[in-house]
Amino acid sequence: MIKIRKSNERGKTKIDWLESYHSFSFGDYYDPHNMAFGPLRVINDDTILPSAGFPTHPHRDMEIITIVTQGVIAHRDSTGSEGVIRVGEVQKMSAGKGIFHSEFNASDKEILKLFQIWIIPKEMGLKPAYEDMQYNTDEKKNKLLLVASGDHADGVIYIHQDAKIFLSDLDKNYEQKYSLQKDNGIYLHVVNGKIVVEENELTQGDAIMITEMEKIKWTALENSSIILFDVAMN
């Protein structure tokens, strides 16, 4: 089963310092037909102006993954933790039983672009925790780079859910294939560029959801970047 989610079908928040596109219902954007994909609850594609950001706010019982594509984000929370996330880094915050935090563009000159991803955990009431992963951008050149997983043995960021997150940069005409586990689904989001997936052409901001298939393949029609989510659907 294949479902396409076009970029212009996403929700949007536009205020003076933030432009955010929502793949699923979020904040004032509500779409009963796009609430989640399995445990994948939020994919927000954010652009934040210099020195601006999200003031202190609460989270609980959610695995929150931040992937920066341009600029640097600074964060601080109620446990006393603080730091920055740059391109080539992925951070996970397990909000668990509850945490307050803030996130700001660390630059007073440069635009910040990032994806914030929320995944519903298997267990509620966990102890709040952070985990970071650094990678060389060459590691995702024409490869699916695993950056988060529900399996400790993978040696990447651990998320409390049967899910995996991959990043990849594709050269024009490069083809990738992926095998699905039984009862899992794939959500593939195009960060930039243009690809064709099972005869469906996707461009920046588009996504494809695939379930009940054993294998999929896609080809880059131009230099492109993607995020791939593999999640349990039951």
Residue 157: which CATH number?
A: 2.60.120.10
- Integer Cα distance of 74 and 106 in angstroms: 5
By residue range, what is the domain housing residue 138? 2-232
Which helix (H) or strand (E) element contains residue 12?
Answer: strand 11-14
- Integer Cα distance of 1 and 97 in angstroms: 36
Q: Give the mean model confidence (pLDDT) for residues 116-133.
A: 94
pLDDT-based confidence at residue 56 (cuts at 50, 70, 90): confident
Sign of the alpha-carbon torsion through 86, 12, 33, 209? negative
Sheet containing 200-203: order of strands: 175-179, 215-220, 194-197, 200-203
Measuring CA to CA, how many Å separate 53 from each of 3, 99, 113, 167?
Answer: 33, 18, 11, 25
Number of domains in the chain: 1
Q: Give the mean model confidence (pLDDT) for residues 195-214.
A: 96
For every residue of 32-68, DSSP letters joined together read TT-S-BTTEEEEEEEEE-TT-EEEEEEE-S-EEEEEE
For residue 80, count CB atoms less than 10 angstroms from its CB and return exposed for 0-12, middle for 13-18, buried for 19 or more. exposed
pLDDT at residue 40 is higher than 90: yes
- Enter the tokens of residue 177: 């294939």
- Percent of the chain clearing pLDDT 90 (strictly above): 88
Q: What would the pLDDT profile of 135-160 be if each residue is shown by its tens digit?
A: 999 999 999 999 999 999 999 999 99
Query: How high is the pLDDT of residue 198?
Result: 87
- Cross-strand partners of 14: 19
16-20, 96-100, 109-113, 120-124: least confident range: 96-100
Query: How high is the pLDDT of residue 116?
Result: 97
- Integer Cα distance of 201 and 181 in angstroms: 24
Measuring CA to CA, how many Å separate 27 from each of 106, 118, 159?
Answer: 24, 13, 24
As a residue count, the chain comes to 234
Average pLDDT of the chain to the nearest whole number? 95
175 φ, ψ to 5°? -110, 135
Query: How high is the pLDDT of residue 53?
Result: 87
pTM above 0.75, yes or no: yes
Residues 133, 161 contacting (CB under 8 angstroms): no
| 40-48 and 112-119 beta bridge pairing | antiparallel
